[in-house]
Chains A and B, each alone.
Chain A
Amino acid sequence: MTALDRPLTSTLPRARPGRAWVGVLAGVLLVVLAATSLFVGVSDVSPVSVLTGGPDGDAAFLLVASRIPRTVAIVLVGASLGIAGLIMQMLVRNKFVEPGTTGVSEFATLGMLVTMVFLPGLPVVGKMGVAAAFGLFGTWVFLRVVRFVPVRQLVLVPLVGIMLGGVVGAVTTFFAYRLDLLQSLGQWSQGSFATIMAGRYEFLWIAGLMVVVAWVAADRFSVIGLGEEFATNLGLDYRRVVAVGMVVVAVITAAVLVTAGMIPFLGLVVPNVVSLVIGDNVRRSISWVAGLGAVLVLACDLVARTVRMPYEIPLSVVVGVVGAALFLWLLLRRRSRAR
């Protein structure tokens, strides 16, 4: 056969044209936004003031203690939340799931409440561990429940997740109300980077570690996204990869929750936008998801910081508005495409 007479050398597959410059553009955008984020704020911190010491001589201190941690935290949160959404979408094989639409965030919040009531003296890393454990349990519950929903019921899957999250959220709110902890709870349910400074964001590096895990296992997650039958046929241990994915999602959710709080829509919107352009081969899309997630949170945080200067509005509000708009666009676009 002609195809087989060819020698065992072959050309590399051609990449789709025009993607390289988009990548460069995105990279430049990321750097510009990160730099802007460093130098925007109530106190005067600019490249000049850092070098000269500024009016009070503490610009350099502010930069190191507050601005750099904040910017690093934003990048880590943006990248890791995007990837948590991506992995979740691969595990469930549904484009409309993310920790916030599957009850995972709510379970993690319940975990936080439990630590506040029973283990108030626990260090933050312990709280994060408990929240992650609850999040993991939540992922498990969701995957169990969703097994009874046909894969093709695209909208039913996140609906089930949102209902599950609603029930868990209601339980959490009830006990928080009874125990007079609603205010502390609000601190987590509204994501913001206002309180981030050196010493209060480092747990996000654990989320960063999960990003690395996802990166290494990218091909496995792509294969899982084809379904259990394909994965088994290709010799992959389906359950083990799903378990790794669940841990990645739960730990990222918990780490972001204890440091910045809940940030809606991000895990949903970012992978979907990337999927439209790049597709769902995780090896190829993961860097885009991480980058776009970081860019989006950087931009939203800048807006949150500047619209009411010198006050800040919660980041989750800005992300919520932008994310909801993007999500609606995605939904309508999908409908117009599907005959």
Chain B
Amino acid sequence: MKFKLKIWRQKNNQDKGAFKTYELDGVSSDMSFLEMIDVLNEQLIDKDEDPVHFDHDCREGICGMCSMYINGEPHGPLRGVTTCQLHMRSFQDGETITIEPWRAKAFPIVKDLAVDRSAFDRVIQAGGYVSVNTGGTPDANEIPIPKSVADEAFNAATCIGCGACVAACKNASAMLFVSAKVSQLSMLPQGQVERSERAEKMVAQMDEEGFGACTNTGACSAECPKGIDLSNIARMNREYLGAKVGSQS
């Protein structure tokens, strides 16, 4: 297969950046998208050109590191996969593929296609945990949890923090990411103690980071590689408003 690749190149955060177009031949349909970029990079190195920098690590769709905005969609045209799991068989031979970094004020560009997603870490630090110290916890089976609740919490917990939701959202909103964690912990008995405080703090941090607001377009959920459901956002709205109205201070 043969492709024309239109890739965003930007040396560092200060650099202005611009698109650069590359021709790439001899691509196998069994290659993953990142393996295709590997091939391009080997060719660039061969020509003494700086290879395209991008974030990637596990290459099995779970670490959440890879983050390419491909042909107008985060992680490309396929549903339920990350960029590393996207294979070239999903593209037409001869196609022009536009590859851009995640675009959001809260995700500054590090280099080329790699962005800084530490805003997500700070949102979790604001309250995405249950405050238990190591040791001294009750037996794991002491509190039964209905299977349906555990499953629902699990579904929210599968978020990989890749940021595709922010990238897909026309407002660069992080509501799906934040709501996934708020939901998971608000559903489980272990998360009840800090439930309202958590929702308030995480939402405040989310706003602080400069993410946009939710317009309920559903683009985040549609593009989410783990299919995190929009109902989580509704749940977070409930949790947040309930917390604000119901809390003592």
Pair from one complex = no
| Residues of B in contact with A (beta carbons under 8 Å apart) | none
Interface residues of A (CB under 8 A from B): none
